[in-house]
Copies of this chain bind each other. A is one copy, B any other.
Amino acid sequence: MKIGLAQINPIVGDLPGNVDKIIAWSQEASRQGADLVVFPELCVTGYPPLDLLDSPTFIDAVEAALDDLARGLPSEIGVIVGAPIRNPEKVGKRLFNAALLFEGGELRAVVRKRLLPTYDVFDEHRYFEAGTSSPVIDFRGLRLGLHVCEDMWNNQEQAEHFLYEDNPIDLLADKGVDLFVNISASPFSVGKHAQRNNVIGESCREHGVPFLLVNTVGANTEIIFDGDSRVHASDGHRIMCAPSFEEAMLFWDTEDTAARCSRTHTDIADLHDALILGLRDYYQKTGAFSNALVGLSGGIDSAVTCALAVAALGAENVTGITLPSRYSSGGSVSDSEALAANLGIAFHHVPIVPAVDAFEEMLADLFSGTEEGIAEENIQARARGMTLMAVSNKFGHLLLTTGNKSEMSVGYATLYGDMNGGLAVLSDVYKTQVYDLANYINEAAGQTLIPQSTIDKPPSAELRPDQKDADSLPPYDVLDDILRRYIEEHLEVEEIGLATGYPTALVLKILNMVDRSEYKRRQAPPGLRVSPKAFGMGRRLPIVMRWLRQRSDVALANEKAQ
């Protein structure tokens, strides 16, 4: 049997557009002689639809869209799609997250998702009731173990802890299936490709059953889906795999179990390609902008952001502006000019000195007798942010925020200043990774796009004379090591100190800086998620709180008394 893997890029809420695409791709699959074509989880609505699911009108429209789909699909091919469907019971959440099999103009089978991820960026218990059965779907004699995304992942922490009681993979295998079919909206993070290889390979080997996964591709606001759809043979090896970060249709003949997919992944290429997809989809799917705009400081973050924007949108759709103050180094402007010339983008030069002078004049009375400090530094960053927003508003440009994850972690960023923008391209990329990206971009281009002097200069916000990041922060390799262990691995002061040998006082200082900067991140623009734990919707911490990693006075008093 010939099966199509339709790795499509739906747009959240665009029911007509998504239905049209599913129909067109099904027609193509049918023309190519496929018996069955498989689309990703919630492809009718796009993922994540979030609280659109709370609107009965939206669900009515989804039902109408599914009727349209049934009527519009070619009749000779089976088509599996993902969509929210209503819970007919009077108890529980009002929807199920379902896989639907259409054939001959009719809905032939429904499988309800059982394991509902409710952690990190996932809120599925907010909307969905969990399915309670794992039916085997007979399609033209092939027994399909059809299930949805998370349903395949309850193997992952085997020895230590299972998040869910049930394991749909095992239940399906017990019933006897010829093929596992997983439809997913499984987000990218660096290393996810290898995780999928492991989990799927294990399931194949454990049960001696081949495995077909179709994952969605494309970005919706923060979340980037990499696709990475594939077929594994019953011995676990990958027979075929789709390209990551782009739409693709593969066809697999179920008789073909010998082929091997030779596609390899590197973390840096995946990171690079994910950011480009995230940036491009934000720009194109909103459809609200002409040109992306980047404030160029001469530093590495804005340079990498700008180069990614050019790769995503084309040089003709990117504008750079240099905004020097009286503290800007000469290199700030000349490196920005060189970058813009290398990339071939439009470039403007708008010194912010008049605005800074005006604010200082306006505030002279009120500030008289005070020492220069953060307030004055922030005036510069905000004068830049205001100028960029004025240009954005005037010409309809998408302002890209250039701050990296290291800075966002410790609050080394000015709210309403350099944090301004519609999309934060690097806010989940640590500073050390930004350097890796810069080198990768130059190497891949075979020429110097990002000036070497930008890569080589010591990082500085240039908000006061001779300021360097290293004055107030540890070296970035140390900082990033601490941050990654805290944010992504949920480790704490003592564990990090033990594992790294860094002084406890340093680790504690960094962790408290992260916690105390939550108020800034709450007002940050959405950022592209490329790690297992990005700031934004997947990391929810209170602003008003007094967790200081200490035990109670009572405990200390008791311990002293003992």
Contacts and interface: CB of A to CB of B under 8 A. Distances in A.
B12 A490 contact: no
Interface residues of A, number: 114
A393 B420 contact: no
A375 B394 contact: yes
A541 B51 contact: yes
A138 interface: no
Contact of A350 (B161, B362, B386, B526): B362
A466 interface: no
A190 to B, nearest CB: 20
B13 A546 contact: yes
B378 A393 contact: yes
A351 interface: yes
A548 B422 CA distance: 21
A247 interface: no
A246 interface: no
A523 B118 CA distance: 24
User: What 7 A-B pairs come out closest when comparing CB atoms?
Assistant: A13-B547, A16-B552, A14-B546, A358-B358, A125-B125, A57-B492, A375-B393
A370 B551 CA distance: 61
User: Which one of A348, A362, A524, A542 has the highest number of Cβ atoms from chain B below 10 Å of its Cβ?
Assistant: A542
A361 B542 CA distance: 42
A164 B91 contact: yes
Interface stretch (A30-38, A278-286, A305-313): A278-286
Nearest to A55: B490
Interface string A92-114: 11100000000000000000000
Nearest to A558: B71
Interface in A522-562: 522-526, 537, 539-555, 558
Copies of the protein in its oligomer: 2
Contacts of A550: 15-16, 61
A392 to B, nearest CB: 8
A350 B533 CA distance: 43
Contacts of A55: 490, 492
Given A546-B14, A558-B71, A386 B390 contact: no
A519 interface: yes
A460 B148 CA distance: 52
A16 B355 CA distance: 47
Interface in A416-434: 416, 420, 422
Contacts of A394: 363, 366-367, 370, 373, 375
A446 to B, nearest CB: 33
A56 B540 contact: no
Interface in A231-285: 281-282, 285
